[in-house]
Chain A
């Protein structure tokens, strides 16, 4: 019997099975941010165990609220900063170098096919786009990861999702994943790993695959995984060129992390996406999804483009294409937070930031901020936000606020119209 991607990664990283059904894995990457790590750091200090298992494998960032907005967030940031210096972390990202973790770490080339990655953050599943096993964990798992480089998981059970057909113009990875979550539900993949296959994924850029995997957890999945291929090699090439003779030999090596054809899946789901329409959420669960047509005209107060789901350069390009030469509606306030400094800088060079600002967007520094209702665009009671983020939970972007999730294109069109709108109806300006 062949193996799934996760089964291959588990086998290679296996450390122990203390009880049947429990796998202790060696972890290649332990990522830390300032929201879930300080309590672990303080606990380690209290236990007299202030250190890390490997100063290169443990990496840290301040990203959720940055620069700090008040004394409490400043204390969290300081706890991270002091710790990173004290334990001698090789990679630590502070104000000026920081951005949203799941956008920044891939950009730095930190994630490779076949790796195990944990982070105290549920959207760690984003890194599955590289063919790694990457899962969000809580603070205690993180603390043990920092201390010992291990984590416990149940043996992997994988759902295979085949995405076939051809996406229409104006339909993106975000629409695909919203549609899948709508189809299988917020509980549809709990304790399962989703492997994404098929021509639609094969054609996707790494950015788009990250968007896809990012929201696997919204269907309850432990993680989402894409098979590494030539696109993966191209993306990582600047970081791996010293390790391989040429791209083909890298591809050969990465191919060991592809699923076997006779691998065993708990379920196989096929989605033909040829007639997929842009998707938008309603209500307070990410599986409450409708087509943009059904949601069109819903009044909006704020548009937010950013986050680990859709704050990358490709997302900014897509939104800017819709916005170019237009102005946002009078009733709208629109916010762009490029997810990383490199994205921000490239967007300036490419003239994208000009397009956003001329349209009337406020451009903020890279940070999570508004996505979890902490800074840079928190909603007031009763306000409605059209957002490229990944969660529409009650109160997520501010107490009493409503969030509609959508692609950057739909968010841009919505900013122009002042209510939810289909980007394909906006006329392109030269």
Chain B
């Protein structure tokens, strides 16, 4: 496990982004994760968003609003992030299956309260935000050239164990 999740952040200022937007169903006929790579967020309806942009290519963390990942149970949604080196999503809340899929893959779906999330979104107005997740301290460090913010987050012992194990399958193997 790396305790250094992080990198440039991509801000998606919308609630209820669904799994069809993250990875359209027509790509579910692929049977390798790598094949999904070019289609990340292809159908996202968000003013000004371009899934082929440089910002998308560089993103390592996604910051978004409520109920992220609602819709289908497709694990292709976390996978398309994984193959694009995005291992963290920060949101006010997540849909159950998406959240569970993230931790099952050893990745992180971090919840932040709305006021803190607002401050994080405001930071983005000062330029490119780099986010570093300090897993052991349960801290999100976000910085631009001129400003720096730190947030604390909670993670359940179970989710932490999944991140440490590198996912649910490894965890299961040591226990059941």
Contacts and interface: CB of A to CB of B under 8 A. Distances in A.
Same assembly: yes
B73 A36 contact: yes
A136 B97 contact: yes
A191 interface: yes
Contacts of B33: 39
Nearest to B98: A138
B21 A394 contact: yes
A75 B104 CA distance: 26
Contacts of B24: 373, 395, 399
A152 B16 CA distance: 24
Interface string B68-87: 00111111001000000000
Interface string A65-104: 1000010110110010000000000000000000000000
A187 B66 contact: yes
B67 A75 contact: no
B156 A391 contact: no
A391 B20 contact: yes
B161 interface: yes
Interface stretch (A139-147, A296-304, A406-414, A422-430): A139-147
B169 interface: yes
Interface in A362-416: 372-374, 391, 393-396, 399
The number of chain A residues touching the other chain, given as a range, is: 35 or more
B20 A36 contact: no
B95 to A, nearest CB: 6
Contact of B167 (A140, A150, A284): A140
Nearest to B72: A122
Contact of A138 (B32, B101, B175, B176): B101
A82 to B, nearest CB: 13
Contacts of A399: 24, 26, 43
A121 B25 contact: no
Interface string A256-284: 00000000000000000000000000001
B75 A393 contact: no
B96 A139 contact: no
A270 B96 CA distance: 25
A345 interface: no
Contacts of B93: 187, 190
Interface string A213-237: 0000000101000000000000000
5 contacts: A19-B161, A22-B158, A138-B73, A152-B168, A191-B96
Given A122-B97, A140-B169, A395-B20, 15 more contacts: A35-B74, A36-B74, A136-B72, A138-B101, A140-B75, A140-B101, A140-B168, A148-B172, A152-B100, A186-B16, A187-B67, A373-B26, A391-B20, A393-B20, A396-B25
